[in-house]
C-alpha cells in the first residue's frame, strides 16, 4: 500500500468507528452534554464536515458546506446544548458523510503533483501536504469522536469497541 492508500484506509476505518459511536444514538439526545464544554455528536459532525471543506478548499477540491456551518461548527464555535439551534441531525449527518466522500474521492484522483502541493502556509502550519492533511483529518475525527464516546457511555449505550 502506498501513502495515499494508507491515508484513505485510515480515514475509512476512523469513519466506521464514528458510525458505530453514532449507532442507536437516541433522537432526543443529539445535543446531549454533561457540561457546557462537551462536544456533542451534532456539533462534532458539523465541525468535521466544516474541517473537510476547509482542507479540501486549501487543496483545490470542490467540497462545500452550507454557509451556516462556519458560524455553527467552524473554528472557535462552541457546542450549544439545544438541538433546535442547529440544522436537523439528518441534514448535518448527510453533509458530514458527503464531505468525507468528496475528500476521499479527491485523494483517490489526485495527481502526484497534487499530492506534493505544499500546504504549510495555507493551513497556518497545521499540515504540510495533502496526504498529511488527510491523516490529520482522520486524527481530528478520532479526537472528537473519542469525546462523543464518553457521552455515549453516560447515556448508558453499550461500548462499540471491546
- The grid coordinates listed for 83 are 438541538
**CATH code of the domain containing 7:** 1.20.120.450
* 65 has a pLDDT exceeding 80: yes
Share of the chain above pLDDT 70, in %: 100
* 161 has a pLDDT exceeding 90: no
The answer as to whether 30 is a domain residue is no
The answer as to whether 29 is a domain residue is no
What is the number of domains present in the chain?
Answer: 1
Helix (H) or strand (E) holding 130: helix 130-154
Q: Look up cell 490529520; give the residue.
A: 136
The answer as to whether 83 is a domain residue is yes
107-118 pLDDT, tens per residue?
999 999 999 999
C-beta separation of 144 from 18 below 8 A: no
131-143 pLDDT, tens per residue?
999 999 999 999 9
**Residue-number span of the structural domain to which 126 is assigned:** 3-24+37-154
For residue 19, the model assigns a pLDDT of: 97
* 80 has a pLDDT exceeding 80: yes
The answer as to whether 159 is a domain residue is no
The answer as to whether 148 is a domain residue is yes
11-61 pLDDT, tens per residue?
999 999 999 999 999 999 999 999 999 999 999 999 999 999 999 999 999
The answer as to whether 162 is a domain residue is no
- As a whole number, mean pLDDT of residues 77-82 equals 96
* 162 has a pLDDT exceeding 90: no
* 79 has a pLDDT exceeding 90: yes
The answer as to whether 147 is a domain residue is yes
The answer as to whether 87 is a domain residue is yes
Q: What is the 3-state secondary structure (H, E, C) of 52-98?
A: HHHHHHHHCCCCCCCCHHHHHHCCCCCCCCCHHHCCCHHHHHHHHHH
C-beta separation of 67 from 73 below 8 A: no
Instruction: Please provide the average confidence, as pLDDT, over all residues in the chain.
Output: 96
Amino acid at each position: 500500500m502506498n501513502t495515499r492508500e494508507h491515508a484513505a484506509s485510515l480515514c475509512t476505518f476512523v469513519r466506521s468507528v464514528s458510525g458505530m459511536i453514532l449507532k442507536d444514538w437516541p433522537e432526543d439526545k443529539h445535543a446531549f452534554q454533561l457540561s457546557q464544554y462537551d462536544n456533542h455528536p451534532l456539533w462534532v459532525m458539523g465541525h468535521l464536515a466544516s474541517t473537510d471543506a476547509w482542507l479540501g478548499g486549501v487543496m483545490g477540491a470542490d467540497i462545500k458546506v452550507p454557509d451556516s456551518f462556519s458560524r455553527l461548527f467552524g473554528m472557535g464555535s462552541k457546542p450549544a446544548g439545544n438541538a433546535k439551534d442547529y440544522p436537523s441531525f439528518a441534514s448535518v449527518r448527510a453533509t458530514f458523510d458527503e464531505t468525507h466522500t468528496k475528500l476521499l474521492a479527491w485523494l483517490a484522483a489526485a495527481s502526484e503533483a497534487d499530492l506534493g502541493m505544499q500546504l504549510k502556509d495555507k493551513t497556518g502550519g497545521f499540515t504540510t501536504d495533502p496526504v498529511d492533511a488527510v491523516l490529520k483529518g482522520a486524527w481530528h475525527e478520532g479526537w472528537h469522536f473519542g469525546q462523543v464516546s464518553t457521552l455515549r457511555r453516560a447515556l448508558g449505550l453499550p461500548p462499540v469497541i471491546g
